[in-house]
Amino acid sequence: MIYFHYFDVESEYNQARDNNYEEPWVSYIEDPVDRVNYNMTDEERYGTPVTFLIHSDGDIIFKCASSTFANSAATLQYQLNDDEWSSITATVAGITIPVSSGDTVKFIGDNEKLGGRGFFKDSTAGFKVKGNIMSLLNSTGFSTMHELPQAGNNVASYGVFYSLFESCTGLTDASRLLIPVSAIPTFAFASMFYGATSLTATPTFNCVIVSGGALDSTFRRCTALETAPELNMTSASPIGSGACNCMFYSCYSLKNVPKNYLPATGISSGSYNSMFNECTSLTSAPDLPAETVPYYGYRNMFSGCTALTSAPIISATDIYGESLAGMFIDCTSLTVAPGLRQITVHTLDSGINLNRNHFKEMFKGCVSLVTPPPELSVTLQDSMSATSLFEAMFYGCHSMKTPPVIGPIEFNLTAGSISQYVFDSMFAFCSAMTSAPDLSQITFTKGISSYFFRNTFQQCKSMTTLPFSAFPSSTSVYTSVFSGMFQYCEKLTSAPDLNYPMTFNSNTSYIFRQLFYGCSKLKSVKCNFAGGLNYTGNTSDWLYGVASSGNRYFYKNPNTSTGSTTGATQWARNTSGIPNGWTVLDIT
Residue ranges per structural domain of the chain: 1-39
User: Of all helices (H) and strands (E), which one includes residue 214?
Assistant: none
Question: Who contacts 319 (Cβ-Cβ below 8 Å, separation ≥6)?
Answer: 292, 293, 297, 343, 344, 345, 346, 358
Confidence at residue 96, expressed as pLDDT on a 0 to 100 scale = 98
Question: Do you find a cis peptide bond into 24, omega within 30 degrees of 0?
Answer: yes
Confidence at residue 474, expressed as pLDDT on a 0 to 100 scale = 74
Confidence at residue 31, expressed as pLDDT on a 0 to 100 scale = 47
Confidence at residue 35, expressed as pLDDT on a 0 to 100 scale = 45
Confidence at residue 102, expressed as pLDDT on a 0 to 100 scale = 97
d(CA 468, CA 144) in angstroms, rounded, equals 69
Q: Cα 64 to chain center, whole Å?
A: 31
Closest CA to 509 of 485, 532, 486, 543: 532
Do 379 and 412 meet the contact criterion of CB atoms below 8 Å apart? no
Confidence at residue 358, expressed as pLDDT on a 0 to 100 scale = 93
User: Of all helices (H) and strands (E), which one includes residue 18?
Assistant: helix 10-18
> Which stretches in the chain have pLDDT values below 70?
1-42, 150-157, 348-355, 382-385, 413-418, 475, 507
Q: What are phi and psi of 26, to 5 degrees?
A: -70, 125
Q: Cα 497 to chain center, whole Å?
A: 39
362-382 per-position pLDDT tens digit:
999 999 999 999 999 998 876
Do 271 and 243 meet the contact criterion of CB atoms below 8 Å apart? yes
Pairing of strands 126-132, 171-178: parallel
Sheet holding 524-527, edge to edge: 524-527, 553-556, 583-586
User: Of all helices (H) and strands (E), which one includes residue 446?
Assistant: none
CA distances from 394 to 29, 367, 369, 431, 586 (A): 52, 9, 9, 11, 39
Confidence at residue 417, expressed as pLDDT on a 0 to 100 scale = 45
Q: Letter for the amino acid at 179?
A: I
